[in-house]
Amino acid sequence: MENSQASRNGKPYLLPDKPLQSLDDYIAIGGLKGLERARSMTADAVIAEVKKSGFRGRGGAGFPVGIKWASIASDPCPTKYVACNATEGEPGTFKDRMLMRRNPYQLLEGVAIAAHAMGARKAFIAMKRTFDQAIERTAFAHREMTARNALGDIPIEFVYGPEDYLLGEEKAMLEVIEGREAMPREMDYPPYVLGLFAGYPSCIPGQTNPTLVNNCETMSTITHIIRNGADWFQSMGSADTRGHTIFTLSGDVQREGLYELPMGTTMRELIEKWGGGLRPGRKLKAIFSGVASAGLYPESIDTPLDFGSMRNAGSGLGSAGFMVYDDSNCMVQVAHIFSKFLWIESCGQCRSCKDGTYEATRGLENLINGTGNEIDIEAILQASINAPRGNRCFLPTEHSLIIPSIVRRFGQEFAEHYNRGCRNCRVPILPKMHDYDEAKHEFHYTHGRLTP
């Protein structure tokens, strides 16, 4: 099995080799001990343990979980909520769905621990309504755990939202939990306090109730940190980023898949050892961790995969979903699928975002169809760099990080397209996953919405 390595950094703890079938299976491997321990501790002690572990969130930004928990817990408003982000819409990422398919119990236990630490009134788990297997597995586990009173007194509710990428943006996710569309609400800039249900029963009229938002893998990992202690967690991973993560590896490798490995594993090891290397005769051209960072290139293949090292290498870890492109790819086409995705997924509330992502996509289309030249390159760069002006969310910033990086890195290749276009260039598909075939080590992709 892909995740069965026992390394000096400890055995896999997140992904069991096979899906757990029942709560009894879960209890047999130590399940529910984390929540039992949390409930024997004060909320402050649980938060202190999370802080001590040095755990950084797995939703993409690597924000320290203990600091986020302490800030919500210390908010004077007495009514609090917890919202787990299991909406997973980033191209190249499938780890949260895999976690829910294989072990939904640890996610529910982690959410119950977070709810206890926040003294929450209620917790939510949001995912996309297309996540058939994850929905079925988590609902089944929830029914079993509730019937045996295994989750404590704080109710956990599921919210099933639309296919939109923006559903994963935390402010949009809170909108959907409140029954509205996946459109990021306007807020002051960080450090803001996210909240739900303005005016009910908020302590300050018109304000929302402070809400802790953490990713699905983050919540699943919490279960193990509280069960085994901060020192155990600190003993794994790299100095920058402790613990394991689940890497999603896709694209031009021999074995696509999901691999639970310690943070700090190098990109070379991930591709060569776990992914089986590139296809015969091909050379590495670029690797993208979702669509929110600049790419990682062949000279950086020995970069340790943690938040700090990836940032220092000019890229980013994101949610650890890596899309590999070999030398058979046309980078104008690759830039185009990412740009078009971000344009389509932009909700249009901020003009510079919708216009900038559109203009850049149009410039890339000109280069592909043979009507483009250096004027389009300048237009693409300007549109992308200006897209985040006055933005409510990070989506246009993602565009401004990934698209100019591709244009600049592959300037010569772009120039070869001037007034000529793509000739027999490989046309990539948008690597947005909807299923994983474990036997074949292959992801199944969807193109998502192709028209805005």
Ligand X SMILES: Cc1cc2nc3c(=O)[nH]c(=O)nc-3n(C[C@H](O)[C@H](O)[C@H](O)COP(=O)(O)O)c2cc1C
Contact residues toward ligand SF4 (CB under 6 A) are 166, 184, 346-350, 353-354, 391-393, 395-396
| Using rule CB under 6 A, residue 90 touches ligand X | yes
3-class DSSP state of 248: strand
CA distance 121 to 113: 13
- Per-residue string for binding with ligand X, 97-136, x by CB under 6 A? ----------------------------------------
Helix (H, G, I), strand (E, B) or coil at 212: strand
For residue 252, the partner it binds in ligand SF4, ligand X, none, with Cβ less than 5 to 8 A by kind, is none
Residue 392 binds which of ligand X, ligand SF4, none (CB < 5-8 A, kind-dependent):
ligand SF4
Q: Which of residues 204-233 bind ligand X (CB under 6 A)?
A: 213-215, 218
Residue 87 found at the interface with ligand X (CB under 6 A): yes
Write down the least CB distance from residue 451 to ligand X, Å: 19
CB of 158 vs ligand SF4, minimal distance in Å: 25
Q: Among 162-170, 187-195, 368-376, 380-388, which window interacts with ligand X (CB under 6 A)? A: 162-170
> Tokens 């402010």 identify what position?
171
CB of 169 to ligand X, least distance (A): 4
Rounded alpha-carbon distances, angstroms, from residue 268 to 99, 145, 315: 24, 41, 15
- In sequence order, what DSSP letters do the residues of 252-300 get, joined into one string? SBSS-EEEEEETT-BHHIIIIIIS--BSTT--EEEEEETTSS--B-GGG
| From the list ligand X, ligand SF4, none, partner contacted by residue 353 (C-beta under 5 to 8 A by kind) | ligand SF4
Rounded to a whole number of angstroms, the minimum distance from the CB of residue 396 to ligand SF4 is 5
In this structure, what token pair is assigned to residue 213? 């938002």
The binder of ligand X chosen from 2, 169, 252, 256 (CB under 6 A): 169
Nearer of residues 384 and 391 to ligand SF4, judged by Cβ: 391
- Residue 58's binding partner out of ligand SF4, ligand X, none, with CB under 5 to 8 Å set by partner kind: ligand X
CB of 351 to ligand SF4, least distance (A): 8
**At its nearest, how many Å lie between ligand X and the CB of residue 231?**
22
Task: Please say which residue, 314 or 448, places its beta carbon nearer to ligand SF4.
Answer: 448
Q: Which of 2, 88, 260, 376 binds ligand X (CB under 6 A)?
A: 88
Residue 346, binding choice from ligand SF4, ligand X, none, Cβ under 5 to 8 Å by partner class? ligand SF4
H helix runs in 79-196, sequence order: 95-102, 104-118, 132-147, 170-177
Footprint (CB under 6 A) of ligand X, residues 9-68: 57-61, 63
Residue 306 within binding range of ligand X, rule CB under 6 A:
no
Q: Which is nearer to ligand X, 63 or 197 (CB)?
A: 63
Select from 238, 240, 239 the least CA-distant residue to 262: 238
Please give the residue ranges that form the binding site for ligand X (CB under 6 A): 57-61, 63, 85, 87-90, 165-166, 168-170, 213-215, 218, 393-395
